[in-house]
Amino acid sequence: MTEDIIRTSHGPVRGERTGTGVRFLGIPYARPPIGPLRFAAPVPPEPWAEVLDARVYGPTAQRRPFAETTTIPEPCVPGESTLNLNVFTPVGAAGQAGLPVLVRIHGGGFVAGCSASPWYDGTAFNRDGVVLVPLGYRLGIEGFLHLEDSPDNRGVLDWIAALRWVRENIAAFGGDPDKVTVAGQSAGGGAVQTLLATPAAAGLFRAAISASGAVMRPQGPEFAATVSEFFTARTGVPATAAALRGLTDEEILALQDELHAPGSDRDALPMLVLAPFADGALIPEPVPDALIVGAAGQDIPLMTGCTAHEFNAVAEGETGRTLTDEIFRAPVLALAESRASRDLPTWIYQFDWTVIAPAFEGLARHCIDLPFAFDLLGAEGVDKALGEAPPSTSPTPCTRPGSPSSATSTPALTGPPLLHGAARDTHLEHRVPHGARPAPLRTEDLAGYGDLTTVAAPRRRRPGVSSSKTAGPRRRRGGGRAPEADRPPAGESVLGAEQR
């Protein structure tokens, strides 16, 4: 096999060279979920002998955009083989196993989104020696509605199938199957939390990043059953695979719209009605309970956080701010503090840089951290979402926890992010002054060597912008935990900022 033709366990695939690596797009990790497999657990793909052309993105489960205008450009690619993934690997990495791997699960409220966005390109990760694997999965009714005659949480089963594919195949692309970090943002962040609470996913990844993660609250078999009953009451269609299997994509989406339509009759339902839930089997108990009260995920280093104003613009005044606090920030702090109280390796961050785009000027809103995390500020749609000429994110060295990165640095990530021991003096909000340049998230530092790291870059101070310190656990290039001397003291403040 050559560098751009790799043999997987199911057959050879041909990739396409980029400036920093080789990308393999639309590789199937399971058979197309059609016919009898539409609402079934994922099944490994049929082997193939001829080289599979993996130079274009594969079909997406998303059949229409999340909305008429979305922050992230996520195309709809037609086709049946929607259970596919992409592999971005550095130049010369194929056959040289040992690189860290970042498996990424996209957001979209569990009803939309895809892995084919230009915002999810792996060029910068490859530059920094990381293999990136974005994956697709079943959405909405097909992925998460409780059906009497089908396995629950089919989307979760898809994530596990993809992680098993990575475990079996990533070495051929230069990745180390023992250095896998699973990451996601928004619904993808909720997916990461769900996987931490799913025993069947144990051993498939060694670190986790939940960015702006959201899960169904409350969740449990009784709530899933209530959603199914509500679905039938509203649509007149039984919540069974037998009744749904033969419907077209358009008909399924129409039923989904009926389920989501506002009305007093849905006031008692969770906000996310089509999402992972505790079914008592695959997911034994509600994810928040499993992570905060139970022992789930305690052996996995976790980095979690959110932007400062996630949903502030969704509604006016205090209502929008309350949504941000209830859906994102309060759960982040609850999870981080619980893990810290048990001395579990945990990092917490808040992304504070505010956009200059007119529609959302002055807000660090939902999704705007992604172009910085992927170091893709020139990608399609970024200028529209962030404003023209967003700050550069060239890589910079890591800094010691609690030390100034530079006398002129202004971090977008407030800290200290590493918690050992109970967090105290916590506050919910801190804003970097509008117009301040953010520090980058260096891509290699998010990819599962051992400790997960946040960094800040030296930046020229602007008038009226004060200098600041950066906190973050230092990653050792040889892997493993950072020395004890490099960790913040137990009980250090989570954000240590004045609430505004």
Which residues carry out catalysis? 186, 310, 366
Which amino acid type is present at position 56? V
What span, in angstroms and rounded, lies between the C-alpha atoms of 401 and 486? 6
Q: Where are the alpha helices (DSSP H) in 139-183?
A: 140-144, 154-169
The residue length of the chain stands at 500
Give strand ranges (E) for 62-211.
84-90, 99-105, 131-135, 175-185, 207-211
**Cis peptide before 416, with omega less than 30 degrees from 0?**
yes
What span, in angstroms and rounded, lies between the C-alpha atoms of 470 and 479? 22
Closest CA to 164 of 140, 145, 182: 182
Closest CA to 398 of 423, 421, 417: 417
Name the one residue in this structure whose structure tokens are 């043999």: 7
Which amino acid type is present at position 463? P
Q: At what angle do helices 154-169 and 187-196 cross, to 10 degrees?
A: 80
Is the sign of the CA dihedral 280, 200, 330, 374 positive or negative? negative
What span, in angstroms and rounded, lies between the C-alpha atoms of 488 and 403? 10
What span, in angstroms and rounded, lies between the C-alpha atoms of 460 and 381? 26
- Residues 168, 130 contacting (CB under 8 angstroms): no
Phi and psi for 21 in degrees, rounded to 5?
Answer: -175, -155
